[in-house]
């Protein structure tokens, strides 16, 4: 009965050559095309460096006033603006301003690219059932596969640094904006679409003037989730050389700096609260306008 306790599997003498063959082929691929791939991503590297330098070199009062103004324009809420301002000031007083700015710069670029990638895919998914059936399993894999797994090929191709961290964050953070863009467009009232058709709207006009505006609150919820998931990748991205608060957390773990690690963690939470409150409040404002009320 011993065979009942052991799961049948391929003999190692057959499986090991397959593994070695795959590893060898991938190493040959990286040696052959590695330089070309790095040159392809060099503009992205320059963009990430530019945003990081901009955020770290801009005087802190300008950053605080700028983010406060963006918060006010998005939320029209003094409470949210005051909370964002106090959180940024507290981070600065605790000596984590530069690391925080590096983290914010990465999150902003990753969010922008996630929206640029996810919005069109979500729109196409909402229009094609076949495309949705194809993309849905891919999104499931992207969200459930541990980030360390897809970090392996990225690091082998591009080494360590900003670009691999950016790719890892985008892969992890882009599914929510795709899913909720698709969902928001599909939930648009069919009677409204029929009215648009009756007025002779083309497919493009119907998308831009009817479906996207009505789906915008749901899309904003997707952007909110994308930002939160990007922030969740900060520490993991630090393992492959991305500077910022995540690197401080890793150093605290390695050297058992309890206070430093806790403060860095609170700084990450502070950034998350800022982005979450601003995006959620903006989404609620859009929802109220959708219902016909005004601030």
Mean of pLDDT values over 170-194: 88
Average pLDDT for the chain? 83
Q: Is residue 45 part of a domain?
A: yes
Please state, in angstroms and rounded to a whole number, the distance separating the CA atoms of residues 241 and 262. Answer: 21
Domain contains 79 = yes
Give the CA count within 13 Å in the CB-facing half-sphere of 74.
22
**9 within a domain of the structure (yes/no):** no
Q: Is 21 within a domain?
A: yes
Longest distance between any two alpha carbons in the chain, whole Å: 74
Residue 36 lies in a domain: yes
Residues of the domain holding 137: 14-291
> How many C-beta neighbours within 10 Å does residue 92 have?
17
In this prediction, residue 121 carries a pLDDT of: 93
Asked if residue 3 is part of any domain, the answer here is no
d(CA 104, CA 244): 9
pLDDT at 78 over 80: yes
Spatial distance between the Cα atoms of 151 and 167, rounded to a whole number of angstroms: 9
Region 210-230 average pLDDT: 86
Helices 78-93, 60-75: inter-axial angle, 10-degree rounding = 160
Indicate the pLDDT class of residue 120, thresholds 50, 70 and 90.
Answer: very high
Q: What is the pTM of this model?
A: 0.82
**CATH no. for residue 167?**
1.10.3720.10
The helix-helix angle for 97-127 and 42-57 (nearest 10°) equals 130
- The pLDDT assigned to 180 comes to 92
Residue 19: predicted pLDDT: 77
In a domain, 207, yes or no: yes
Q: How far apart are CA 203 and CA 197, in angstroms?
A: 9
161: left (phi over 0), alpha (psi -120 to 50) or beta: left
The pLDDT assigned to 113 comes to 92
Model confidence pLDDT, tens digit, residues 20-73: 888 788 888 878 877 787 788 888 888 888 988 998 898 988 999 998 898 888
Tens digits of residue pLDDT in 241-292: 778 888 888 888 888 788 888 888 888 888 888 888 888 888 777 766 655 5
pLDDT of residue 118: 92
- Counting residues of the chain whose pLDDT is more than 90, the rounded percentage is 10
| Number of structural domains in the chain | 1
The answer to whether residue 218 sits within a structural domain is yes
H or E element that contains 76: none
């Amino acid at each position: 009965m011993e065979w009942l306790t052991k799961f049948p599997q391929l003999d190692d003498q057959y499986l090991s050559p397959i593994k070695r063959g795959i590893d060898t082929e991938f190493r040959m691929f990286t040696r052959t095309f590695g330089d070309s791939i790095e040159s392809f991503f060099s503009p992205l590297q320059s963009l990430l460096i530019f945003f990081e330098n901009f955020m770290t070199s801009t005087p802190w009062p300008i950053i605080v006033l700028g983010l406060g103004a963006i918060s006010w324009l998005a939320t029209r809420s003094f409470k949210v603006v005051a909370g964002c301002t106090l959180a940024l000031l507290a981070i600065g007083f605790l000596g984590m301003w530069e690391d925080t700015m590096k983290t914010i710069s990465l999150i902003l670029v990753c969010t922008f690219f996630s929206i640029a990638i996810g919005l069109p895919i979500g729109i196409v998914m909402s229009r094609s059932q076949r495309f949705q059936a194809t993309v849905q399993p891919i999104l499931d894999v992207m969200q459930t596969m541990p980030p360390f797994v897809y970090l392996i090929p990225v690091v082998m191709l591009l080494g360590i640094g900003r670009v691999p961290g950016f790719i890892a964050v985008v892969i992890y953070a882009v599914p929510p904006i795709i899913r909720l863009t698709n969902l928001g467009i599909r939930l648009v009232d069919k009677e409204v679409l029929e009215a648009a058709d009756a007025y002779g709207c083309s497919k493009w006009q119907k998308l831009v003037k009817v479906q996207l505006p009505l789906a915008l609150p749901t899309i904003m919820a997707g952007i909110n989730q994308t930002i939160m998931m990007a922030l969740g990748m900060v520490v993991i991205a630090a393992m492959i050389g991305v500077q910022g608060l995540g690197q401080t957390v890793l150093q605290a773990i390695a050297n058992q700096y309890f206070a430093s690690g806790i403060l860095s963690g609170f700084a990450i939470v502070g950034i998350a609260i800022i982005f979450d409150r601003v995006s959620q409040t903006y989404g609620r404002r859009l929802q109220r306008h959708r219902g016909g009320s005004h601030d």
